[in-house]
A and B are shown apart, each in its own frame.
Chain A
Amino acid sequence: MSLQLGWPDYMVIRDENRCIKCEVCAKQCANEVHKLDSDYDKMMADESKCVNCHRCVALCPTRALKIKVNDLEFKPNANWTGSAIKEIYKQASSGGVLLSGMGNTKPYPVYWDKMLINASQVTNPSIDPLREPMETSVLLGRKPEKLEFDKDGKLKTKMPPQVKLDVPVMFSAMSFGSISKNAHEALARAATDLNIMYNTGEGGLAKEFYQYGPNTIVQIASGRFGVHPEYLNAGAMLEIKIGQGAKPGIGGHLPGEKVGEAVSKARMIPRGSDAISPAPHHDIYSIEDLRQLIYSLKEATNYTKPVSVKIAAVHNSPAIASGIARAGADIIAIDGFRGGTGAAPSRVRDNVGIPIELALAAVDQRLREESIRNDVSLVVGGSIRNSADIVKAIALGADACYIASSALIAVGCHMCQNCYTGKCNWGIATQRDDLVKRLNPDIAYERLMNLITAWKHEIEELLGGMGINAIESLRGNRLMLRGIGLNQKELDILGIQHAGE
């Protein structure tokens, strides 16, 4: 089809007065947008290939480049927007499902931004975290109903397995395959030195990563890639992935091009073969089936590691969470509809699932009503963007938060949402050797360390402001939150009062 009805999404704007024709942009663009035209001795651009990843912009030594959204417009129409029309053009020419990377882009309400945090004034004075001790560590795992001590004061109760985090943040599941080895290494090293956890995703675990075991969550997903007893025992926590916020109800598909030697070994699949994760676990069709898998995993790891079950935030999450808790899970991870992904059908990503804030409040409430809240820890993810989001999540009832998009942004991701093309110019979502090396894990590790350290300081400041000196005292303390611009139904679901009340 030679007739193209659309036009490039972006414009490459080059300041000719600043361009020195060093060709750094041309050498760095995996999409081959820029090139030096030797006839004219000028840098030229083919905008149609540009994905707006900003690699050229960031590396241009004279800041001569700008990428702008193409301002060519259709006749204004509130219903048939430009993107609605262009999507039809795209599908009419390709016949395929529209794909996207990263999270939901639609302007649904972000409830984090509609909640405000309290601070102490006069009574119950605030605490200065720089002068007084402040506890930000949390323990994830089933908590016993009561503690019993012998006559010497020693603990008699056998504690279920716990995982300790110094900050209530973990790097959520991103498989080796969906992200590069260097990105994986940076996450593993940073998690280890921050004493938090990172998650293998469903990609198995390369032998060289076993050294980070005490800070590793090993995931078991529907494809069962790379799952074997050694793998299960390599981490400190296990996670059964039922669903993912970006694509609830949908499986995964790692294209064969990304399955090189290392990925093939870690996943235990032939080189070059597509890694297809089915939408459901074919052995789980009920809570009872889930219980079987949870206990199989506990048996395999001799009841020494907590088992988490991760679900996407969907309409009936509270009832599902109740079932998961009763099935014997130690941790429930809920992933909201703004969560990221390497590839998802755009229609699913943008229209399926619910916001994590509402799911979290509803699940926490349901578990408390059923008196099973202490049987599980709650971990939430799905676009946690900063430390205030974490504080709000904990006040709503979470034990810890999962971050992935934020972590990738910290190491260079510019949210161009083209992860699925395998041509990530930042060396993150790619397996192409020349691109993978662009992410030096030493630099990425340092940036992750900085981000979480900065967030820890901010969490301490916010806690101190509320007159609270331990994150555990904030959990489920919804009186510390007030809604702003929310209707009564939303306030009821969130279990908070409106600002001014």
Chain B
Amino acid sequence: MKKVYADEKWCLGCGLCNVYCRTCHSETNDIVKAHNFEEPRPKSRLHVETGEKVNFALQCRHCDDPKCVTACITGAMQKDPDTGLVTNDTDRCVGCWTCVLACPFGAIVRDEDAGKVAAKCDLCVKSGEPECVKHCPNNALKFEDRE
């Protein structure tokens, strides 16, 4: 399946991926409203790791054997057998954070504002191409099938 891959050689750690991730997962789909006004405050589903020498953006790897799905106590976390996409059904999620503990990448975010549910990268299914990839100013994120 196509996944988002970070190329730390070109990542500047600017954080624009975060801005567009949050906007894409907002109700208003407007950068200013999503960041300054919208309630509950939309959450970005990726982390930008920044350091002295190395920066990279990290989001859900949509693992073949997703530990979060195994760990989920309500069956909210599911891997789509056709697309390979791992998603969380927020109606069933009870916010126990077992998935957060189980994820080896630390890629699951706790969204306490939107009713205590787990939030994670959904590869921006609603806009086609992941927004973080689309807006990276230095081509440090690639959306590719590398399997």
Q: How many angstroms from the CA of A437 to the CA of B135 in the assembled complex?
A: 17
Residues on B facing A (Cβ under 8 Å) = 9-10, 12-16, 18-20, 31-32, 35-36, 50, 53, 135, 137-140
Of A14-22, A236-244, A381-389, the segment with at least 4 beta carbons within 8 Å of chain B is A14-22
Find out whether the CB atom of A20 lies under 8 angstroms from the CB atom of B139: no
With known contacts A59-B137, A440-B139, A443-B139, A24–B16 Cβ distance under 8 A:
yes
Chain B residue numbers with a CB within 8 Å of A62 are 31-32
Q: How many angstroms from the CA of A461 to the CA of B50 in the assembled complex?
A: 49
Find out whether the CB atom of B15 lies under 8 angstroms from the CB atom of A437: no
Q: How many angstroms from the CA of A234 to the CA of B54 in the assembled complex?
A: 34
Q: How many angstroms from the CA of A22 to the CA of B14 in the assembled complex?
A: 9
Find out whether the CB atom of B16 lies under 8 angstroms from the CB atom of A59: yes
With known contacts A438-B12, A440-B10, A20–B138 Cβ distance under 8 A:
no
* Set A18, A24, A440: member contacting B32, Cβ < 8 A: A18
A-B interface, 7 closest residue pairs, ranked by CB to CB distance from nearest: A20-B35, A440-B138, A22-B19, A61-B19, A440-B10, A24-B14, A62-B31
Q: How many angstroms from the CA of A437 to the CA of B12 in the assembled complex?
A: 7
Chain A residue numbers with a CB within 8 Å of B14 are 24, 27-28, 59
Q: Among the interface residues B9, B19, B50, B139, which one has the most CB atoms of the partner chain A within 10 A? A: B19
Chain A residue numbers with a CB within 8 Å of B10 are 437, 440
* Set A20, A437, A438: member contacting B36, Cβ < 8 A: A20
- Is A23 an interface residue when CB atoms closer than 8 A count as contact? yes
Chain B residue numbers with a CB within 8 Å of A150 are none
A-B contact count (CB 8 A): 51
| B12 (CB) vs chain A CBs: closest residue | A438
Nearest CB of B to A77, in Å:
43
* Set B50, B53, B139: member contacting A433, Cβ < 8 A: B53
Q: How many angstroms from the CA of A23 to the CA of B50 in the assembled complex?
A: 13
Chain B residue numbers with a CB within 8 Å of A18 are 32
Q: Which of A37-63 contact B (CB under 8 A)?
A: 59, 61-62
With known contacts A438-B138, A442-B139, A22–B15 Cβ distance under 8 A:
yes
Q: Could you tell me how many residues of chain A have their Cβ less than 8 Å away from some Cβ of chain B?
A: 19
Tell me the interface secondary structure of chain A in the complex. Answer: loop
Find out whether the CB atom of A22 lies under 8 angstroms from the CB atom of B138: no
Chain B residue numbers with a CB within 8 Å of A443 are 138-139
Q: Among the interface residues A21, A24, A61, A443, which one has the most CB atoms of the partner chain B within 10 A? A: A61
Nearest CB of B to A232, in Å:
33
Q: How many angstroms from the CA of A62 to the CA of B31 in the assembled complex?
A: 7
Q: Which of A337-361 contact B (CB under 8 A)?
A: none
Taken residue by residue from 405 to 443, chain A's Cβ proximity to chain B (1 for < 8 Å, 0 otherwise) reads as: 000000000000000000000000000011001101011
Find out whether the CB atom of A23 lies under 8 angstroms from the CB atom of B32: no
With known contacts A61-B31, A437-B9, A437-B10, A24–B139 Cβ distance under 8 A:
no
With known contacts A59-B137, A62-B32, A443-B139, A20–B12 Cβ distance under 8 A:
no
Find out whether the CB atom of A28 lies under 8 angstroms from the CB atom of B32: no
Residues on A facing B (Cβ under 8 Å) = 17-18, 20-24, 27-28, 59, 61-62, 433-434, 437-438, 440, 442-443
Find out whether the CB atom of B20 lies under 8 angstroms from the CB atom of A61: yes
Nearest CB of B to A81, in Å:
38
Give me 18 A-to-B residue pairs in the complex whose CB atoms sit less than 8 angstroms apart, sorted by A's number: A18-B32, A20-B32, A22-B18, A22-B19, A24-B19, A27-B12, A27-B15, A27-B50, A61-B31, A62-B31, A62-B32, A437-B10, A438-B12, A438-B138, A440-B138, A440-B139, A442-B139, A443-B139
Inter-chain pairs besides A20-B19, A440-B140, 16 sampled, C-beta below 8 Å: A20-B31, A20-B32, A22-B15, A22-B16, A23-B15, A27-B50, A59-B14, A59-B137, A61-B19, A61-B31, A62-B31, A62-B32, A434-B53, A437-B10, A437-B12, A440-B138
| B53 (CB) vs chain A CBs: closest residue | A433
Nearest CB of A to B76, in Å:
30
Q: How many angstroms from the CA of A167 to the CA of B47 in the assembled complex?
A: 46
Q: Among the interface residues B50, B53, B138, which one has the most CB atoms of the partner chain A within 10 A? A: B138
Chain B residue numbers with a CB within 8 Å of A23 are 15
Q: How many angstroms from the CA of A17 to the CA of B137 in the assembled complex?
A: 24
Chain A residue numbers with a CB within 8 Å of B137 are 59
Nearest CB of B to A64, in Å:
8
Nearest CB of A to B86, in Å:
27
Chain B residue numbers with a CB within 8 Å of A433 are 53
Chain A residue numbers with a CB within 8 Å of B32 are 17-18, 20, 62
| A438 (CB) vs chain B CBs: closest residue | B12
Chain B residue numbers with a CB within 8 Å of A28 are 12, 14
Nearest CB of A to B32, in Å:
5
| B13 (CB) vs chain A CBs: closest residue | A27
Q: How many angstroms from the CA of A278 to the CA of B15 in the assembled complex?
A: 45
* Set B15, B36, B53: member contacting A24, Cβ < 8 A: B15
Nearest CB of A to B106, in Å:
21
| A442 (CB) vs chain B CBs: closest residue | B139
Q: Among the interface residues B13, B135, B137, which one has the most CB atoms of the partner chain A within 10 A? A: B137
Q: How many angstroms from the CA of A434 to the CA of B13 in the assembled complex?
A: 10
